[in-house]
Amino acid sequence: MTTHKINFTKASLLKAPLPEKGKLDYYKDLRESGLEMIVTSGGAKTFYLYRKINGKPERVKLGRFPDLSVENARKSAQRNKGMIADGINPNEEKRRVRDEHTFKELFDLYMERYSKIHKRSWKYDINEVNKHLPHWFKRKISTVTKDEVSRLHAKIGKESGIYQANRILERIRSIFNKGIEWGWQGTNPATGIKKFKEQSRDRFLSAEEMPKFFKALEEEENDTARDFFKVLLLTGARKSNVLMMRWQDISLKEKTWRIPETKNGDPLTIPLNDYVIDLLKERLKQNRVIPLDNSTRDSLKNPVDDTYKDKHFKWVFTGDGKEGYLSDPKKAWARLLERSGLENLRMHDLRRTFGSWQAALGANGYIIGKSLGHKSQQSTAIYARLNIDPVRASTDRAIDAMLLKAKGQI
């Protein structure tokens, strides 16, 4: 082993001769104490920082020359000496990073330990992360920086809209928070990044638009989609709940639909208007789920008996979805909008329409919230004291008004 003390420059290090086979040469920088370069007989030239750490001499690998320049090697040596001064062993930090999760590993853990257990929307986590974050999958989680997350948030906002950008920011923050909760000692790179300001939509079907909407509905070629849109409007329920509407949750006698689990995690009982009940009976007849000529069937709380085991008889709106119910009817919705001439109307706006028409007819906020399954600390106690009758009265008035307007009778 031969040791040389020189002023490190690119030219001087390029000229450094190779040692004999099996031997090493050590070069120490005259300007930056502790910075050295080790040269092997095979031609490798590597920068190290030589320092005592916790009383023991150690070498911290900085990088290969000339890929790592002399200037950057000196800066790296200074940074590592700062870490040592703070009581941090750079070699242990590297081992920790080497052993920590990649982003894909953390995300898989997040899905299994949290999302699939606690979130009904867990499939959206998979879809959105696979769409926007696959370039992080092989990276160690500590390498994802706040600046990087901020730039990604801005990029998605520009390309896909502020709502999409805010949802992916929330997912990133949640994934890293869970990593910290499970023992990772890093810093969440999404912390402190502000979401784009979102404007609440106030779109709903006006009195002038209602006839156009129903006329376009009656012209819809797909009767399942047509009935789905009607129930969506005339119950005010969320799209996901209506898509998964089951016969076993409907009581024709009591004219109610019990949703076992809503977005807020609670069950909800919705009163069904006579128009909706007639629509459902017609669907029963068409689907041949039960013989409607047997009057005793209408008196049953559960209109479906155990004879029908096929999954397609389970759902009110059967379709080619994986589970047997109607998949998101985007094409039918697009046809409806084109026929009606209505613009900037989303399926979720039908839920807002249901609440808006109740409000226009004098219903108070608590009744409207009850009908829509809203939940808040302020209204929970009042909801508990409400029975379904005033809710039914409110929704019936709103539905009757919408149907009369659609027929041009008011």
State the pLDDT at residue 380: 34
Q: pTM value?
A: 0.55
Q: Which of 116, 88, 93, 110 is nearest to 180 (CA)?
A: 110
Q: What's the confidence (pLDDT) of residue 313?
A: 67
Strands 250-251, 56-64: pairing is: unpaired
Q: What is the pLDDT along the chain (410 residues), one digit of tens a residue?
A: 678 999 999 999 999 999 999 899 999 999 999 999 999 999 999 999 999 998 899 999 999 999 999 999 999 999 999 989 988 888 887 777 677 899 999 999 999 999 998 887 788 899 999 999 999 999 999 999 999 999 999 999 999 889 899 999 999 999 999 999 888 888 999 999 999 987 767 788 988 999 999 999 999 999 999 999 999 999 999 999 999 999 999 999 999 999 988 776 678 899 999 999 999 999 888 765 554 444 434 444 444 444 444 444 689 998 887 788 998 899 999 999 999 999 889 999 999 898 888 888 888 787 788 788 776 534 333 333 345 677 888 888 889 889 998 988 77
pLDDT at 262: 79
Return the pLDDT at 297. 47
